[in-house]
DNA sequence: TCTGGGGTCCTAGGACCC
DNA sequence: TCTGGGGTCCTAGGACCC
């Protein structure tokens, strides 16, 4: 029952799977358009604008990491560890040497760079799974043997650098989970090939937390059981871990052993769309919270509409002090694209939290189905896959909710 | 360390149905 | 009047990832 292989699909014992992971992608993009940042500590995040006091680090360059700046860190903490260059220059107590450059996230630009990278990947293989803006898997079994895996990886990195001017790390292994770990093993600018016979040995010494899917909570629970390394996990009894962690426990044991037969498949359409926003400080002003929810609902409705997404479930997320995450959702009779209804339902779900101290709110739509017609937008087609590729990518799920509202033209939508 | 934003998947319990 | 067994859908929360 493991993996997503279709029943009856042939067993491919020795696939060649390549994982490409861009190094500090946002920071690398900033350096590309501002070459003076080369070799300097660069921190990219939200809330770095003058006067802003809350926000977090999205990406820190390796130079910035040396100072203890990490992704997801609050801005205040990052600035303590690594002051801004500009401020250090004006403050006698601070050293300009030990200061860094802060830049605000510019997703549109990173997306454009990402598309240049992805174009190279799609040239290299017909089977590409784009995981995120800076990460993808390629199945290169047809065309790359273990003897030329290194050469292939090196060439791929060179082509990415030439086309998009940003560095990548590449891992090549017989399956996805091992390839993912391999691309991480020699960052930045890494290239690691793990051959079929070397998988267990390669994984064994790693800390469990380096495995994809093991976060701080699971790592802690594993440690309590005396399981610290991937080798320990590989030696554990899959049944025992299934008792303790459910299906995931069994899954993790297999991953640690380097067993993973999931096929590299293109990612389908989104399952949900959401927008959220934090208040500068927790507020009990319910009117202000409602106003924020209205804005978010409008945003989500616009995005859904632009993607041709209909939603059958509307939800809100309300984070109350100290940091309690509450979610509420309501399903509709059927999928709709109705901004007014979205706002109305979101506000209705929010009402329960009137009087509470709210730090953050979010609006989400899910149970999506897609009109096969995308609303035209000037930039949405440029640099996108051809219609043939779109059709292919969209044909993944066989999901029951691909209904088409009446009266709409059929052009297969993607993304 | 007191916490940004956008996602995915899994689980548990309840409602409801046959 | 007390109550089997199986299935689906929905909601809420949690862990994890980038």
Subset of residues 188-247 in chain A with CB less than 7 angstroms from any atom in strand B? 246-247
| Cα gap A413→A29, rounded to integer Å | 28
| Cα gap A46→A52, rounded to integer Å | 9
User: Is A23 near strand C, with its CB below 7 A from some atom of it?
Assistant: no
Region A226-247 average pLDDT: 93
Q: Which nucleotide is nearest, taking the CA of residue A352 and each C1'?
A: C12
pLDDT at position A94 is 87
pLDDT at position A49 is 77
- Structure confidence at residue A372 as a pLDDT band (50, 70, 90): confident
Query: What is the reported pTM?
Result: 0.86
pLDDT at position A78 is 93
Subset of residues 99-158 in chain A with CB less than 7 angstroms from any atom in strand C? 131-135
Query: Which of the following is catalytic: A63, A130, A135, A259?
Result: A135
Query: Would the CA dihedral through A194, A200, A203, A206 be positive or negative?
Result: negative
Active site annotation includes A135: yes
The DSSP line for A38-90 is TTS-EEEEES-STT----EEEEE-HHHHTTT--TT-BHHHHHHHS-BHHHHHH
pLDDT tens, A289-322? 999 999 999 999 999 999 999 999 999 999 999 9
Q: Is the pLDDT of residue A387 over 90?
A: no
- Structure confidence at residue A395 as a pLDDT band (50, 70, 90): very low
User: Is A278 near strand B, with its CB below 7 A from some atom of it?
Assistant: yes
């Amino acid at each position: 029952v493991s993996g997503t292989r279709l029943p009856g699909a042939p067993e491919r014992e020795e696939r060649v799977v390549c994982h490409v992971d861009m190094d500090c992608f946002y920071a690398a993009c900033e350096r590309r358009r501002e070459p003076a940042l080369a070799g300097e500590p660069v921190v990219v995040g939200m809330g770095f604008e003058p006067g802003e006091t809350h926000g977090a680090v999205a990406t820190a360059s390796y130079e910035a990491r040396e100072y203890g700046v990490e992704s997801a860190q609050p801005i205040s903490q990052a600035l303590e560890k690594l002051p801004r260059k500009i401020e250090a220059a004006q403050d006698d107590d601070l050293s300009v040497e030990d200061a860094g450059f802060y830049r605000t996230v510019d997703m549109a630009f990173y997306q454009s760079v990402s598309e240049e990278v992805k174009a190279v990947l799609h040239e290299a293989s017909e089977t590409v799974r784009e995981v995120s803006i800076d990460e993808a898997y390629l199945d290169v079994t047809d065309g790359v043997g273990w003897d030329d895996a290194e050469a292939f990886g090196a060439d791929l990195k060179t082509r990415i650098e030439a086309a998009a001017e940003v560095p990548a790390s590449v891992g090549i292994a017989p399956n996805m989970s091992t390839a993912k770990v391999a691309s991480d093993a020699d960052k930045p600018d890494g290239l690691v090939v793990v051959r079929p016979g070397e998988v267990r040995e390669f994984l064994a010494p790693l800390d469990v937390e380096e495995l994809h899917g093991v976060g701080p909570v699971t790592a802690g629970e594993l440690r309590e059981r005396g399981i610290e390394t991937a080798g320990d996990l590989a030696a554990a009894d899959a049944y025992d871990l299934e008792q303790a962690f459910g299906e995931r426990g069994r899954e993790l044991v297999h991953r640690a052993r380097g067993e993973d037969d999931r096929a590299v498949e293109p990612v389908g359409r989104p399952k949900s769309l959401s927008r959220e926003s934090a208040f500068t400080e927790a507020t009990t002003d319910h009117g202000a919270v409602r106003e924020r929810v209205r804005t978010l609902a409008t945003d989500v409705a616009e995005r859904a509409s632009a993607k041709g997404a209909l939603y059958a479930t509307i939800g809100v997320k309300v984070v109350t002090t100290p940091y309690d995450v509450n979610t509420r959702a309501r399903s509709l009779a059927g999928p709709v694209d109705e901004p007014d209804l979205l706002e109305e339902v979101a506000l209705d779900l929010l009402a329960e939290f009137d009087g509470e101290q709210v730090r953050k709110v979010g609006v989400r739509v899910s149970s999506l189905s897609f009109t096969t017609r995308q609303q035209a937008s000037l930039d949405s087609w440029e640099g996108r896959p051809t219609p043939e590729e779109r059709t292919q990518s969209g044909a993944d799920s066989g999901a029951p909710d691909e209904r088409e509202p009446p009266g709409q033209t059929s052009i297969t939508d993607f993304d």
